[in-house]
C-alpha cells in the first residue's frame, strides 16, 4: 500500500493496547493497518494479550506476527492436553527470540508492559494451588464492585524500556517473565508468574489498557486500541477510559461489535471468528488514519 501523509505526528504519539485474550486479535489487526500505512508511534504500551502484538509493532513487525499468531494459539487450545498458561508460554517462546534482537536497539520504539505486583500476604493465594480459587473469587468480587482484595494486595507496575530504575526497566533479560506475568489471570492460568523472583499477576485486575499511564509521560496524544465496544479501565468495568486525560487527547479505536458475537471470547475462539475480527481491526485502523490524512 502507498504510504500516507499524516498530520497525526508519530513522534509525539503513544499507542496503548488493551487486554482481552483472543479478542486481542482486533488490536493486532489495527496495528497491522498502521504498519501497512507506515505509521509508527513513538511508544507502545501493552497489557496481557496485547504484549506480543504491541512488541512487534514497536519494531515494525506487526505483519510478521499477524493473524497466524492467533490461529496457532487457537489450534493449541483446541487440544485436550493444553491450557492457557501453556499456550501463552509457547507464544512467548516462539516469538521472543526475534523480538529480543530488535526491541532493545536504537531503531525500536519505546515499549511498556503493564502488570500487577503482589504483596507477600496476597502471594500466599496467588502462587500455589489456591490461585484458581482466588481467581474465581476475584471475578465474583469484581462483578459486585468489591475492590478490597485487589486494593490491599496488588500494585500496578509498568515495565519500560526507558525506565530510569533497574527494577522496572524492561530488558532482553526479563522480557519473557514480564510478558507472561502481564497475562496471568488466576482463574485460568495454572503456572505462577514471577519477575526477578517477585510474584506478579495479570494487568487486567487494575488496568485493562495503559492509556492513562502513558498519557502522563509527556506524549501529546494517545491512541487506545480496545478489544470490545466499551473500553473500561479495569476488571470492575465501572469506569470507562476517557477521551482525554490531563489535557491530552485519547483517541479510542474499538470494534463495532462484541467479538463474542463472532465466537471470539477471552479463552476460546474459532478460526473463522479470529480471521473476521483481525480484518475488522485492519479496516478500523485504516479508517482511523484516513481522518488524519493531510
**Count of residues making up the chain:** 294
Residue 14 has pLDDT above 80, yes or no: yes
Find where cell 501523509 sits: 5
Alpha helices in the chain (DSSP H): 25-36, 51-58, 62-65, 68-77, 84-103, 120-126, 131-144, 148-153, 175-183, 211-215, 271-290
pLDDT at residue 292, as a whole number: 79
Residue 119's pLDDT band (boundaries 50, 70, 90)? very high
Residue 227 has pLDDT above 60, yes or no: yes
C-alpha cell at 95: 516469538
- Residue range 192-217, pLDDT digits in tens: 999 999 999 999 999 999 999 999 99
Alpha carbons 4 and 294: distance in angstroms, whole number: 8
Quick one: how many helices (H) and strands (E) in the chain? 11, 9
pLDDT at residue 1, as a whole number: 38
Residue 18 has pLDDT above 70, yes or no: yes
pLDDT at residue 2, as a whole number: 38
Angle in degrees, 0-180, between the axes of helices 25-36 and 271-290, rounded to the nearest 10: 40
Instruction: Look at 4-13, 52-61, 169-178 and tell me which has the smallest mean pLDDT.
Output: 4-13
- Residue range 57-73, pLDDT digits in tens: 999 999 999 999 999 99
Q: What is the mean pLDDT of the chain?
A: 94
Residue 48's region, left for phi above 0, alpha for psi from -120 to 50, else beta, is left
Q: What is the average pLDDT across 101-115?
A: 95
What's the Cα-to-Cα distance from 22 to each of 11, 54, 59, 183, 289, rounded to whole Å? 30, 15, 22, 12, 24
Residue 7's pLDDT band (boundaries 50, 70, 90)? low
- Residue range 27-48, pLDDT digits in tens: 999 999 999 999 999 999 999 9
Amino acid at each position: 500500500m502507498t504510504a500516507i501523509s499524516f498530520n497525526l505526528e508519530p513522534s509525539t504519539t503513544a499507542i496503548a493496547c488493551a487486554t482481552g485474550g483472543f479478542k486481542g486479535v482486533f488490536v493486532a489487526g489495527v496495528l497491522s493497518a498502521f504498519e501497512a500505512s507506515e505509521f509508527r508511534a513513538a511508544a507502545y504500551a501493552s497489557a496481557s494479550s496485547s504484549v506480543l502484538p504491541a512488541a512487534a509493532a514497536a519494531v515494525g513487525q506487526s505483519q510478521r506476527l499477524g493473524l497466524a499468531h492467533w490461529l496457532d494459539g487457537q489450534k493449541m487450545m483446541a487440544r485436550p492436553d493444553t491450557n492457557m498458561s501453556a499456550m501463552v508460554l509457547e507464544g512467548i517462546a516462539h516469538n521472543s527470540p526475534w523480538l529480543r534482537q530488535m526491541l532493545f536497539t536504537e531503531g525500536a520504539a519505546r515499549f511498556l508492559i503493564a502488570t500487577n505486583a503482589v504483596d507477600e500476604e496476597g502471594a500466599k493465594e496467588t502462587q500455589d494451588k489456591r490461585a484458581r480459587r482466588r481467581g474465581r473469587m476475584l471475578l465474583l468480587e469484581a462483578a459486585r464492585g468489591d475492590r478490597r482484595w485487589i486494593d490491599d494486595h496488588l500494585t500496578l507496575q509498568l515495565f519500560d524500556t526507558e525506565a530510569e530504575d533497574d527494577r522496572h526497566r524492561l530488558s532482553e533479560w526479563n522480557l519473557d517473565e514480564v510478558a507472561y506475568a502481564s497475562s496471568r489471570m488466576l482463574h485460568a492460568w495454572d503456572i505462577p508468574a514471577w519477575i526477578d523472583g517477585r510474584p506478579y499477576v495479570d494487568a487486567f485486575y487494575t488496568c485493562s489498557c495503559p492509556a492513562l499511564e502513558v498519557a502522563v509521560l509527556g506524549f501529546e496524544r494517545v491512541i487506545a486500541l480496545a478489544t470490545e465496544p466499551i473500553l473500561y479501565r479495569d476488571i470492575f468495568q465501572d469506569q470507562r477510559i476517557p477521551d482525554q486525560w490531563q489535557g491530552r487527547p485519547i483517541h479510542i479505536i474499538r470494534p463495532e461489535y462484541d467479538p463474542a458475537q463472532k465466537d471470539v471470547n477471552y479463552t476460546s475462539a474459532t478460526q473463522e471468528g479470529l480471521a473476521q475480527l483481525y480484518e475488522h481491526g485492519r479496516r478500523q485502523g485504516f479508517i482511523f488514519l484516513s481522518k488524519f490524512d493531510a
